[in-house]
Amino acid sequence: MDKMKTSICLTDDELLLLDGRCLPETQTIIDSVKERNYLSNTCSLTESQSKVIVDIVTCARSRGAVDFRWTAISGWQSCPVCGKRAGYNLFKTGVNKGKENTKKPRYIYGAKIGSEFICNDCYKALKPVTVRHLALIQCELATELMSEGMVKMVKSVACKCNKCEWTGHEHQILAKMCLMGRGYYPGKCPGCGAEKTPIFSFNDVFTYDYGSWVIVPLSEHIVKSMNDKVRV
Ligand SMILES: [Zn+2]
Ligand SMILES: [Zn+2]
């Protein structure tokens, strides 16, 4: 029978008292508090700055990849680091003069890293420390988040062949030339040579396990199969 559980809210200091004496799920949370404290102390970051970096680093560990894109937030949304709210333009006339017009949102531009939005100013301030920390983790990073001279690594999902005993990761699957000879796609089993038919067909050769992966250096073979944008 499951042990009885209780949900409560703890401060960081209370949580740290359980360090090393709790279930793995709780320990994961404690580890991120410790990491946050470490960052605040050693890199002189504010609590919210450390939190966002630890969230990004946690995402790198749990998903094996961190993506990056320039984006914007608007209206009621705010930057989680500095707390700046996008807001709305104000009514210039009429009975609502001076109040926020929710039909006319303002925007704050910034970056989305993993699932975290950071405004441009905060990103500028945090980029060096974020990049430094991400470099310590085995994961696939968007080019913007890579440190200089770093080898590009890619996440490769575990998979197996349904026709033979072969197991490996998706980027070990051999490239096959597309119909009409335009590029390649990963489609041939390295074990038995069974071939997956091209795009838009039912894949009966390989089974993928998206919960498990390896991080491998980007090779010519991978570039070739990625350039075709044919993902199996
Ligand atoms: Zn900000
Ligand atoms: Zn096979």
227 pLDDT higher than 60? no
* 159 CA from centroid of ligand 2 (Å): 11
CA of 84 to the centre of ligand 1 (A): 6
* SS3 at position 120: helix
Per-chain mean pLDDT for the chain = 88
pLDDT for 222 equals: 67
- The highest-confidence range among 147-161, 170-184, 188-202, by mean pLDDT, is 147-161
Residue 192 has a CB neighbour count (10 Å cut-off) of 13
- Give the Cα-Cα-Cα angle 213, 170, 142 (nearest 5 degrees): 65
Q: How many residues does the chain have?
A: 232
| CA pair distance 229, 232, nearest whole angstrom | 9
CA dihedral 26→30→36→42, nearest 10 degrees, is: -160
Among the bound ligands, the one closest to the CA of 81: 1
Nearest by Cα to 15 from 25, 5, 1: 25
Phi, psi of 197 (to 5 degrees): -75, 155
* Of the listed ranges 20-24, 175-179, 185-189, the one predicted with least confidence: 175-179
Tell me what the mean pLDDT of segment 45-63 comes to.
91
Q: What is the pLDDT of residue 3?
A: 80
Distance 61 CA to ligand 2 centre (A): 30
> Which ligand lies nearest the alpha carbon of 117?
1
Residue 226: its pLDDT value, please? 57
Distance CA 52, CA 112 (A): 11
3-state secondary structure of 195: strand
Question: Partners of 110 in the beta sheet?
Answer: 71, 119
Between CA 81 and CA 116 the distance in angstroms is 10
Ligand nearest to the CA of 111: 1
By the 10 Å C-beta count (0-12 exposed, 13-18 middle, 19+ buried), 57 is classed as: buried
The letter for the amino acid at 137 is I
- Taking the centre of ligand 2 as the mean of its atom positions, its distance from the CA of residue 9, in whole angstroms, is 51
Ligand at shortest distance from the CA of 165 = 2
* Ligand nearest to the Cα of 194, by number: 2
Provide the pLDDT for residue 184. 74
158 beta partners: 169, 209
Q: What are phi and psi of 135, to 5 degrees?
A: -65, -20
Longest dimension (CA), the chain: 76
Strands (E), the chain: 65-66, 68-78, 85-90, 100-105, 107-113, 116-119, 140-141, 153-161, 167-169, 174-177, 184-188, 206-217
- Give residue 203 CA to ligand 2 midpoint distance, Å: 13
The tally of CA atoms less than 13 A away on the side-chain side of residue 126 is 32
Q: Distance from the CA of 212 to the center of ligand 2, in angstroms?
A: 19
Query: Ligand 2 centroid to 201 CA: how many Å?
Result: 18
CA 10 – ligand 1 centroid, Å: 26
> How far does residue 197's CA lie from ligand 2's centre (Å)?
14
Residues within 5 A (CB) of ion ligand 1: 79, 81-82, 119, 122
